[in-house]
């Protein structure tokens, strides 16, 4: 599996770090316990095409949104997603 | 048929031409008291314990491929009970005790070999953590020995003790740990369960659940037709989310790929199971002579049953750091299996919010050693509708209540467990 970084070109997998599914959105402060529980613990765990966040730590150090098929590892698109990791983990 | 030295001698005298099938390849009936989805080790063990311990013999095990074709046939065959947290410690020891009597129980040679598992430590902090885990094991009646450097040198002298970055300082040894022949475990449970009347149905993929007006699960739709069930238990490892989704459930699980490796066969070298504490590398030697080893999961969601190069490199680097002489051994095979990684790294055995549907999942990459224990407590749950006391903490709702069992302390990031 190689990822074509929009800034650096095609790079080997070892340069990237995986965060996970890009779909869940961190709930607003004051969200209900159910919403927070859902965000932190429950996953669609898609078998097929899904979008996810990867960090190009071995290159441009940019967050990327990668659309990838979990059944085949085929990657269909890679887009910049600046700040995605911080927004997701609340850093 | 019953296996013994006499059956072996009889078969040998007739040129091994008259062995009978060890289990029945059944065709589905219309209805069973319990239907188990998943013909891996856990599903077959559950069926056997239901029939042998709980007297429920009208049971079917449905397998979409052939039995043992998933993780039961893809693991590195290690058995151990060296867990530190309440909930895990007792459960894995229950499982270890069942390993110790499995071959007698099943009348099947599963090649259970208690050749010892040693976890090496490479720093003072790691020694303290291992001492604590060893103490936890000992006060729970489990064998554990903290070895110093001299004792490890005596036991496995071929390690690279003087690695400048990760010098070996000692290890935590569980002598009762070891390995078992993974395929034989599957066949053994199939053999014994089938003999008690359990139907093992292969090439039978579950495509949906049959529900009554109240939403209760009353059966399954399969590629071989509809099958009615009093209760349905799922033990499908990496496919847990997909099967649960058919019942409208979302799980605290992600599916990840874990690779395993085997080298060409060499003369006896590795006495037991050795794990490298400064990276993630574990190795044992099969009875055929191949070195069987593995390391981390790849780290991204996958259902592909194959991994990528960075983890292969990382695993091989771990091996080289620990025992540089294996660098001249050639890699024979490499493969991947799909792990049901839970949000705290510990398993889930519970009723689901859907009436009539029971779940056995979330074994991460440690399910093989749990096979007999998992089958036993899951059978208990299916038969009695209450969790077995040794599995009482493996609840599905612990992620909501906060009663997590996070052995590694990584939080809700499954690719790091």
A16: closest CA among A46, A50, A60? A60
Q: Identify the domain containing residue A37 by its residue range.
A: 2-89
Q: What is the mean pLDDT of chain B?
A: 96
Residues of B within 8 A of A37 (CB-CB) are: 399-400
The average pLDDT across A14-37 equals 94
CATH code of the domain made up of B22-108+181-251+344-416: 3.50.50.60
The average pLDDT across B298-305 equals 96
Asked whether residue B186 carries a pLDDT value surpassing 80, the answer given is yes
Q: Per the CB < 8 Å rule, is B400 touching A37?
A: yes
Asked whether residue A89 carries a pLDDT value surpassing 80, the answer given is no
Q: Per the CB < 8 Å rule, is A21 touching B301?
A: yes
- Range(s) within chain B of domains with CATH label 3.50.50.60: 22-108+181-251+344-416
Residues of A within 8 A of B309 (CB-CB) are: 12-14
Q: Per the CB < 8 Å rule, is B400 touching A41?
A: yes
The average pLDDT across A38-43 equals 96
Which of A17, A20, A43 has the most B C-beta neighbours within 10 Å, making it the best mutation to test the interface with B?
A43
Pairing, β B225-234 against β B357-361: parallel
Q: Per the CB < 8 Å rule, is A41 touching B308?
A: no
The average pLDDT across B189-203 equals 98
A21 CB near a chain B CB, below 8 Å?
yes
pTM, entire model: 0.96
In this predicted structure, what is the pLDDT of residue A90?
A: 67
Q: Using beta carbons and an 8 Å cutoff, which residues of B are at the interface with A?
A: 241-242, 250-255, 299-304, 306, 308-310, 313, 343, 399-400, 412-413, 415
The average pLDDT across B166-183 equals 97
- Range(s) within chain B of domains with CATH label 3.30.9.10: 117-176+255-342
Confidence of residue A46 (pLDDT cuts 50, 70, 90): very high
- CATH number at A35 reads 3.30.2270.10
Here the tokens at position B243 are: 């099967």
Closest Cα of chain B to A72: distance in Å? 6
Contact of B48 with B101, CB cutoff 8 Å: no
How many domains, in total, are found in chain A?
A: 1
Owner of token pair 């009597």: B101
Asked whether residue B155 carries a pLDDT value surpassing 70, the answer given is yes
Interface predicted TM-score of the whole assembly (ipTM), two decimals: 0.95
Contact of B43 with B61, CB cutoff 8 Å: yes
In this predicted structure, what is the pLDDT of residue A86?
A: 78
Here the tokens at position A1 are: 């599996």
The C-alpha atoms of residue B295 and residue B260 are separated, in whole angstroms, by 8
A77 CB near a chain B CB, below 8 Å?
no
CATH code of the domain made up of B117-176+255-342: 3.30.9.10
Confidence of residue A82 (pLDDT cuts 50, 70, 90): confident
């Amino acid at each position: 599996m190689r990822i074509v970084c929009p800034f650096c070109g095609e790079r080997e997998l070892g340069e990237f770090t995986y965060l996970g599914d890009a779909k869940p959105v961190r709930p607003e402060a004051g969200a209900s316990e159910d919403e927070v529980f859902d965000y932190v613990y429950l996953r669609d765990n898609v078998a097929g095409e899904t979008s996810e966040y990867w960090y190009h730590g071995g290159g441009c150090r940019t967050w990327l949104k990668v659309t990838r098929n979990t059944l085949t590892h085929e990657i269909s698109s890679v887009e910049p997603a600046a700040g995605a990791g911080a927004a997701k983990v609340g850093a | 048929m019953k296996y013994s030295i006499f059956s072996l001698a009889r078969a040998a005298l007739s040129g091994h031409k008259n062995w009978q099938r060890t289990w029945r390849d059944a065709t589905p009936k219309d209805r069973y008291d319990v239907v188990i989805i998943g013909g891996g080790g856990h599903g077959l063990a559950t069926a056997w314990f239901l029939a042998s311990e709980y007297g429920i013999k009208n049971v079917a095990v449905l397998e979409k491929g052939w039995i043992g074709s998933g993780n039961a046939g893809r693991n590195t065959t290690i058995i151990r009970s060296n867990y530190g947290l309440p909930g895990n410690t007792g459960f894995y020891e229950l499982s270890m005790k069942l390993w110790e009597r499995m071959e007698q129980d099943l009348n099947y040679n599963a090649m259970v070999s208690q050749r010892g598992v040693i976890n090496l430590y490479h720093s003072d902090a790691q020694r303290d953590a291992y001492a604590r885990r060893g103490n936890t094991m000992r006060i729970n009646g489990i064998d554990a020995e903290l070895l110093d450097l001299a004792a490890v040198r005596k036991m496995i002298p071929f390690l690279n003790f003087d690695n400048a970055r990760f010098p070996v300082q000692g290890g935590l040894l569980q002598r009762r740990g070891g390995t078992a022949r993974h395929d034989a475990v599957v066949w053994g449970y199939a053999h014994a369960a089938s003999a008690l009347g359990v139907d093992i149905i292969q090439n039978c993929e579950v495509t949906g659940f049959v529900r009554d007006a109240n939403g209760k699960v009353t059966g399954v739709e399969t590629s071989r037709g509809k099958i009615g069930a009093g209760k349905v238990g799922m033990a499908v490892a990496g496919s847990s989310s997909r099967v649960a989704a058919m019942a409208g459930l979302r799980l605290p699980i992600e599916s990840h790929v874990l690779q395993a490796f085997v080298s060409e066969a060499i003369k006896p070298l590795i006495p037991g199971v050795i794990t490298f504490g400064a990276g993630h590398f574990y190795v044992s030697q099969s009875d055929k002579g191949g070195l069987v080893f593995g390391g981390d999961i790849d780290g991204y969601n996958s259902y592909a049953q194959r991994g990528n190069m960075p983890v292969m490199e990382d695993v091989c680097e771990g091996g080289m750091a620990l025992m540089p002489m294996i660098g001249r051994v050639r890699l024979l095979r490499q493969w991947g299996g799909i792990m049901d990684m839970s949000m705290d790294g510990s398993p889930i055995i519970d009723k689901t919010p859907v009436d009539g549907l029971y779940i056995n999942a979330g074994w991460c990459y440690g399910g093989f050693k749990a096979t007999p224990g998992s089958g036993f407590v899951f059978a208990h749950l299916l038969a009695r509708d209450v969790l077995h006391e040794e599995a009482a903490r493996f609840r599905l709702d612990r992620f909501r209540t906060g009663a997590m069992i996070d052995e590694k302390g990584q939080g809700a990031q499954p690719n790091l467990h």
